[in-house]
Each structure stands twice: as structure tokens, then as C-alpha cells.
Structure 1
Amino acid sequence: MKIGELAKATAIPVETIRYYEKIGLLPEPNRDTSGYRAYRQPHLDRLLFIKRCRNLDMAQEEIRELIRLAEQPEADCSGVDALLARHLVHVRERLEELARLEETLVRLQEACSDARTVRECGILDGLNTELETPRSDDHHNHVPGTHGPGQS
């Protein structure tokens, strides 16, 4: 199948499919006689696997590791379990960060419960002063490697 058909079958944009090829998550397909990429069932399966992993908010390096582990079907699956455990720690940390963010937004909204002018707006005043929120470097995100082995 051609890339447009693959994109339609997976609901993944063509640009994203090409990106996954470029970074090595999706193997490059062979070309047909016309020079077009000719995707096969394994490409579709891999792309759907990647999509499911991304739906679980997994980072590219986590997906890459899962693919590497999946290519060793007779190996012990403790590596898969360990990867998922690390990812679960990251998800729980992110949930805590989001709860703190929610608390901050609620405090800001409560600062402007009365009808006033913009000049008197408690929300804007709060945004112009330092809020008690985690600094951007206090948390991990999905930049590859930020929550790999040995990191939370």
C-alpha cells in the first residue's frame, strides 16, 4: 500500500509516518517499480503499535526499547515490565504536577470572583506576581531520556 493508504488505515498523518521512518521507529519500505514506497502488513502493524504506545503517552525512546524487546520473542519479559513500571512512575508524577496546576488555577480563578475592571482583575494580578507552582525544571517531560533507566 502507498503512504496515503497507510495514513488512512491508521489515522496517522503522512508527515508523522515519514518522521517515524526518519527516526527509525518504522522501517523504510521497499520501493515499487514506480519509485513509490510500498508498505506491507508489518509496517501497518508497527505503526499501530507505535500509535497505541503514544496513546499511553510513551516517549520515543520507550517505544524504541519496546520494539527492541519485542524483536526477542523468546527472551524474558522482565525488561518490558521494568519499562512499564518506570513509565507508570512518570505518569504518577505527572498526575501530581497536574493536581498542583489545578490548585493554582483554582486559586487564580477565585481571585477574580467579583465583577471588576480589568485593572482590578485578581487573575491578571496573580499572573503578574510569582505563583507557588513547580518550576519548569522541577518535573520530567517526554523529551527522550528524561525518564529512562535510573531516573524517575
Structure 2
Amino acid sequence: MSEMQSTVSIGELARRASCKPETVRYYERIGLLREAARTEGGQRRYGAAAVRRLTFIRHARDFGFSVEAVRELLAMSDRPDMPCDEVDTLAKHHLEEVESRLQRLSALRDELKRMVSQCAGGKVQSCRIIEVLGDHQLCISDQAHQGAHDLG
């Protein structure tokens, strides 16, 4: 089988990795994905390694890893003989960030529930939700207020 027969177009690569061609181009621009070889007609062609790499990138992003963390993970995965303690450290740090974000989200949810439950359903001029949103000192939890900034 020739090299051209074992390659796929950008559209097919994107489909296999469950993303859009624009995402593929973006990852190429920022250096996470190597630029594709091109046909004489200028069409990008990607091999099996690009499919695996893009799938890795998309999966890592789905797990919430930042672009820089994905870059580090890719660099480590390109060195399969190295010990995985750096990978463990990076994943543990990300887990800590996720747990912290979950705590902030939980506090935010509780504050929103409280605001909604206190709304009497009258007019906006006496709406508890509007009142609380206008004065964060009316919030029970500073963590909820901080969570809103961190998550938005």
C-alpha cells in the first residue's frame, strides 16, 4: 500500500477524532499537531500517527487538561522510555485543580439554590435574586463568589 493510500484528509482526520477541521488547523498552528504533508494539489494528508496524536490531544482536552499540559504530556509520550513520575505529577496536580473547582462549583450551586428559593416571584424591584447579585455581601459563602470568578 502506498503512503497516499494510507493517509486521510483533514476532514476524515477531524471526523475520526470527533472534532472539526478548524480544530485540526488550530492544533497545527500552536504546534500540538505536526503540519501535514501535502499532495501536489495542496491537500493536507495525515497518516495513522496523526490520527493517534489528535485523538490523544482531544481526549486530554476532554479531561480538562490545559493546552500547555497537553503539550507537556505529548512531549513525555514522545519519550516512551522515560519514567512516568512526571506524568503522574502533572495528572495529580490537575486532579487537585479539578477537586478545587468542584468545591467552588458546589458552593456556587448552593448559593444559587438559596437565591432561587428566596425569590418570592413578585416584581423585579423586590426580586431577591437581583438583590443578591447586586450585593455580594448578601451571599453566605465567599467561596461561591470566588467560584463564579474562577469558573467564568
TM-score normalised according to structure 2 size: 0.84
Provide the rounded CA distance (Å) in 2 between the counterparts of 1:54 and 1:126. 35
Which residue in 2 is equivalent to 1:144? none
Q: Please tell me whether Structure 1 or Structure 2 has the larger radius of gyration of its CA atoms.
A: 2
Which residue in 2 is equivalent to 1:59? 66
Which residue in 2 is equivalent to 1:123? 129
Partners of 2:17 and 2:51 within 8 A in 1: yes
- Asked which structure has the greater RCO (Cα within 8 Å, sep 6+), the reply is 1
Identity percentage over the alignment?
A: 35
Which residue in 2 is equivalent to 1:49? 56
Stretches of 4+ aligned residues off by more than 3 angstroms? none
Which residue in 2 is equivalent to 1:102? 109
Provide the rounded CA distance (Å) in 1 between the counterparts of 2:96 and 2:35. 33
Q: Which has the higher helix share?
A: 2
Alignment length (residue pairs):
138
Provide the rounded CA distance (Å) in 1 between the counterparts of 2:121 and 2:27. 50
Which residue in 1 is equivalent to 2:3? none
> What RMSD in Å do the two structures reach over aligned CA positions?
1.6
C-alpha displacement of 1:135: 6.9
Task: Determine which of 69, 75, 78 is the counterpart of 2:85.
Answer: 78
For 1:42-100, what per-residue CA distance to the aligned partner results, in whole angstroms no more than 9, with x for missing partners? 11100100111011111011111111111111111111111111111111111111111
